[in-house]
Amino acid sequence: MKILDYKKSQDKSIFAELVSPKILRDIDVENTVRLILDDVSRKGDAAVSKYIRQFDKANLSPAQFRVDVEEISDAVNRVEKSFLKAARLAIKNITEYHKFQLRKTRSYQRNDGSRLTQRIRPLNRVGMYVPGGSAPLASSLLMCAVPAKVAGVPEIVMVTPSNSEGEVNPYILASAKLAGVTEMYRVGGVQAIGALAYGTDSIPRVDKIVGPGNKYVVEAKRQVYGIVDVDLIPGPSEILVIADDTANPSWVAADMLSQAEHTGNERVFLVTPSKSLAKEVEKELYLQANQLSRTPQMLSSLEKGGVIVITKDLDQAVEIADLVAAEHLEIMTQDARKIADKVKYAGAIFIGPWTPEPICDYVAGTNHILPTGGTGRMFSGLNLDEFIKKTNVVEISDKGFQQLAESTIIFAEKEELTAHANSVRVRLKNGGKR
């Protein structure tokens, strides 16, 4: 794990290099994804079945793709009541927070009688990808499905891989049922993204694809963008903690490790003016990592992407946080809310010692699908706007037309678009009468 003193110019340069934006392309992944997507677009269900056999080792016919009602009900009955209670709490809080984001169609009328409207309508059909491998992300399903339902999307479609027996994780199925998912398919990987984007006989196409996945799924979303809409293109998870000597080093380390355990490629930062806290947190990181179940992933993340930065003061810590624009930013300092107000860029901000990021991953109500890799500077996390379509509706009055016609013609002629100008001129003939 790297420990840098930001007051030293050499360490400052090292940190700047660590967080500088990098375009990382894996040509092999791109080519593999392109071939699979092309196959699915041309051969539909047959290609989907082929890749399920190849990658998931499950022999499924197209008739078996869709999860039936009995299997969904069985999943709800199989999972623990404590899990169902937790899922219902999460759904309640996610619903409440995303209702707060609801938009309404709005209009205004000018003095000349012209009316301009922004019309809000939900998307008709949204697909969501839910990873089902070593860490089946039922919580990510809720983060996608519940906002879609709040927005009024009538068709909410889930794709998720099965095991070699064709079975879907029961916690994913139960969560999907509780969240109001309308269709569930035991299809994962690039082939699932292709089916959602192009449509097959068994899986009708969608308008938008949301949700996380491995590097192949993420690349598939990137390649189908434009055929359908997609949400974020995520990279490895990351967390940055701003802390001072009032913070509990055990708690700081625990929160950092919560994001270091996914794949072993995560980025975890502590930024603090306290050298004593930095030393205590470093010690706690390795102590706790060796006592938890995903030790190899955590140690790998600490080695590859773990950084502790010693700063002059908390203002400098905020400056560093804005440079990183981390997916998750925790603030454990005196006057933490005041420090948070100074931050410009982050995927999400968690204030105070009682707001560990994992609570917000699951049940606080805010969305945990967030921008990574410094894109928190310009992208927002998943929110209700992802599930609506905004349409401009314009009704110009005859008086308004007369006031706007000449300026329109001037623009059109400067752009050498004579047909644009003509569409206005033909209305000006005969004094603008029809």
Contact predicate 258/356, CB 8 Å: yes
Round to whole Å and give the CA distance between 32 and 189: 12
Task: Identify the CA nearest to 261 among candidates 289, 291, 303.
Answer: 289
- For residue 91, the tally of other CB atoms under 10 A from its CB is 20
What Å distances lie between residue 131 and 137, 138, 164, 360, 406, CA to CA? Answer: 6, 8, 15, 19, 56
**CB of 62 closer than 8 Å to CB of 202:** yes
Q: Which is catalytic among the residues 328, 330, 357, 386?
A: 328
Distance between CA atoms of 189 and 55, rounded to whole angstroms? 8
d(CA 311, CA 319): 10
Name the catalytic one among 261, 284, 327, 386: 327
Place of tokens 């701003």: 242
Q: How far apart are the first and last CA of the chain?
A: 76
Nearest to 166 by CA among 67, 232, 281: 67
Q: Which two tokens stand for residue 371?
A: 């921008």
Distance from C-alpha of 141 to C-alpha of 180, rounded to nearest angstrom: 11
State the DSSP string of 154-222. Answer: SEEEEE----TTSPPPHHHHHHHHHHT-SEEE---HHHHHHHHHH--SSS---SEEE----HHHHHHHH
Report phi then psi at 265, rounded to 5.
-120, 20
* Annotated catalytic residue 328: yes
**What HEC string does 263-325 produce?**
CCCCEEEEEECCHHHHHHHHHHHHHHHCCCCCHHHHHHHHHHHEEEEECCCHHHHHHHHHHHC
Is 80 an annotated catalytic residue?
A: no
CA distances from 337 to 299, 343, 411 (A): 31, 10, 49
Interaxial angle between packed helices 170-179 and 138-151, expressed in degrees from 0 to 180 and rounded to the nearest 10: 20
Angle of the 295-305 helix axis to the 249-260 helix axis, nearest 10: 100
8 A C-beta contact, residue 135 and residue 161: no
Per DSSP bridges, beta strands 106-109 and 115-122 are antiparallel
Q: Which residues are catalytic?
A: 327-328
